[in-house]
Structure 1
Amino acid sequence: AEDALAAARRFRAAAFSAILIDTAPRPQDSARALAEAMGARYLPLPQADARKLSAAVRAAGAAA
């Protein structure tokens, strides 16, 4: 977990744009924390399918 957070902080420092899509049945605090460390938008999307994922990515791209 610490390795992932360290990598996420480096990702943020590089000023990349990102979205973290949490497809767990219930939103996960660890995924939210990782998104925060990355500087990424966190999007819980339980029961995701290809259509929902595609729509979420398009919406995130339009908002960027």
Structure 2
Amino acid sequence: MSLLRKAVKGLDILWSRLVKQGLRTTALWAADHSVRVVTGAPIRSVSQIAPQLHVGGQYRRRGW
């Protein structure tokens, strides 16, 4: 997939979420997604609902 196509797809996803879910939810999703791409794990304060229970995006090997 070309870089331009990826950029267009990403903007389409972002716009769709913004229209359907609103600014706050979209901003939270974008922050969580960005952190997962860089660190391999989601934002702990957002994903941890109990000491040993997390919800959200998939972890990669680099996660906690």
TM category, shorter:
0.3 to 0.5
TM-score norm. by structure 1 comes to 0.34
Structure with higher helix content: 2
Using CA pairs under 8 Å that are at least 6 residues apart, name the structure with larger relative contact order, 1 or 2: 1
TM-score norm. by structure 2 comes to 0.34
